[in-house]
Amino acid sequence: MKERSPEDIIAQTLTRHRLRQTPVRLGVLRALREAPYALSGHEVEELLGTGTDRITLYRTLRSFEEKGLIHRVIDASDIVRYASCSMACTEHMHADNHVHFKCTRCAHIYCLNQIAIPAVTLPASFQAVQRDYLLSGVCGECQ
Ligand SMILES: [Zn+2]
Ligand SMILES: [Zn+2]
């Protein structure tokens, strides 16, 4: 059986989420899948190069997030970063409940996909809607 190329996987991911293949969609998904850490909208824009329409780019990021292709990575700064989701995420359920790690030297934020956010028991009257779990320290590259 033929091995699926990264390009096949990117194209199939769009199809699975009922999104037509466009150069911007393919480019955004490729950039986020290939990056070892989460990227800001500006960083994605730089990777796609000049000639990419900004409005289309940000609309693509928003629709990818809504449909479960990518997720937001949040830290104390105002910069919103994005990372590609695991295969398990859908429009209705973001299965991504992993820990994020921010390196204080290179400032990159990594998805630690294999480390689940620990269960937290809330007081009876509290209901959580979002879970962001960010650790900081020094990443493997900077050690
Ligand atoms: Zn680092
Ligand atoms: Zn993540």
Tell me the whole-structure pTM to 2 decimals.
0.84
What does each of the 143 residues of the chain score in pLDDT, given as a tens digit?
667 888 898 999 999 889 999 999 999 999 999 999 999 999 999 999 878 899 999 999 999 999 989 999 988 888 999 998 876 666 666 656 889 999 999 999 999 988 988 888 999 999 988 888 999 999 999 99
- 141 CA distance to ligand 1 middle (Å): 5
Residue 117 identity: I
- 109 CA distance to ligand 1 middle (Å): 8
- 123 CA distance to ligand 2 middle (Å): 27
Picking from 24, 23, 29, the residue whose alpha carbon sits closest to that of residue 6 is: 29
- 71 CA distance to ligand 2 middle (Å): 7
- 15 CA distance to ligand 1 middle (Å): 34
64: helix, strand or coil? helix
